[in-house]
Chain A
Amino acid sequence: MPQTIAEKILAAHAGRGTVVPGELIDVPIDMALANDITAPIAIELFERSGVETVFDRDRIALVPDHFVPNKDVRSAIQVQAMRAFAKKYRIKHFFELGDMGIEHVLLPEQGLVLPGDVVIGADSHTCTYGALGAFATGVGSTDIAAAMITGKTWFKVPESIKFVYHGKLGKWVTGKDLILFTIGDIGVDGATYKVMEFAGDAIRNLSMADRMTMSNMAIEAGAKSGIIPPDETTLDYVTPRAKRSFKCYESDPDADYLAVKTYDASCIEPQVAFPFLPENTRPISAVGTVPIDQVVIGSCTNGRIEDLRLAATVLNGHRVDKNVRLIIVPATPTIYRQAMNEGLFEVFLSAKGVVSPPTCGPCLGGFMGILGPGERAVSTTNRNFVGRMGHPTSEVYLANPAVAAASAVLGRIGSPEAL
Chain B
Amino acid sequence: MKLEGTVWKFGDNIDTDVIIPANYLVTTDMAELGLHCMEGVDPAFAQKVQPGDVIVAGKNFGCGSSREHAPMAIKGAGVSCVIAEGFARIFFRNAFNMGLPIFESPGISRNIEQGHRVSVDQATGEITDHTNGKRFVASPIPPFMQELIEAGGLMAYVLKKRRT
Contacts and interface: CB of A to CB of B under 8 A. Distances in A.
Q: Most chain-A CB neighbours within 10 Å: which of B25, B86, B98? A: B25
B90 A139 contact: yes
Interface in B7-44: 13, 15, 17-18, 21-23, 25-28, 40-41, 43
A41 interface: yes
A45 to B, nearest CB: 5
Interface in A154-208: 154, 156, 188-189, 192-193
A150 interface: yes
Contacts of B27: 74
Nearest to A143: B97
A88 B92 CA distance: 32
B6 interface: no
Interface string A26-44: 0000000000011011001
A149 interface: yes
Interface string A205-233: 00000000000000100101000000000
B139 to A, nearest CB: 14
Interface string A142-156: 110110011000101
A150 to B, nearest CB: 6
Contact of A277 (B13, B23, B59, B86): B13
Given A145-B155, A189-B88, A365 B67 contact: no
B122 interface: no
Nearest to A190: B60
Contacts of A366: 22-23
A140 interface: yes
A347 B13 CA distance: 40
A222 B22 contact: no
A193 B91 CA distance: 11
B89 A192 contact: yes
Contacts of A350: none
A388 B17 contact: yes
A126 B21 CA distance: 20
Nearest to B144: A24
Contacts of B158: 146, 149-150
Nearest to B156: A49
A72 B24 CA distance: 12
A123 interface: yes
B15 A189 contact: no
B65 A124 contact: yes
B21 A387 contact: yes
B154 interface: yes
Contacts of B98: 140, 142
B123 interface: no
A364 interface: yes
Given A78-B26, A150-B158, A366-B23, A37 B17 contact: no
A142 B97 contact: yes
B153 interface: yes
A142 B38 CA distance: 22
Contacts of A138: 66, 90
A248 interface: no
Contact of B60 (A40, A124, A222): A222
Contacts of A329: none
Contact of A142 (B22, B43, B60, B153): B153
Nearest to A388: B17
Given A24-B144, A40-B28, A386-B41, A141 B64 contact: no
A383 B64 contact: yes
Given A37-B25, A142-B98, A189-B86, A387 B68 contact: no
Contacts of A126: 66
B66 A124 contact: yes
B22 A41 contact: no
A21 interface: no
A189 B13 contact: yes
A75 B26 CA distance: 5
Interface of B: 13, 15, 17-18, 21-23, 25-28, 40-41, 43, 59-60, 63-69, 72, 86, 88-90, 93-94, 97-98, 142, 144, 153-155, 158-159, 162
28 contacts: A37-B67, A41-B28, A41-B68, A44-B28, A48-B155, A51-B159, A66-B25, A67-B26, A72-B26, A75-B26, A78-B26, A124-B65, A139-B94, A142-B94, A142-B153, A142-B154, A146-B158, A149-B159, A154-B144, A188-B63, A192-B86, A219-B64, A222-B60, A365-B17, A386-B17, A386-B18, A388-B17, A392-B40
Q: Which 6 A-B pairs have the closest CB atoms?
A: A74-B26, A140-B94, A142-B97, A189-B60, A140-B68, A124-B66
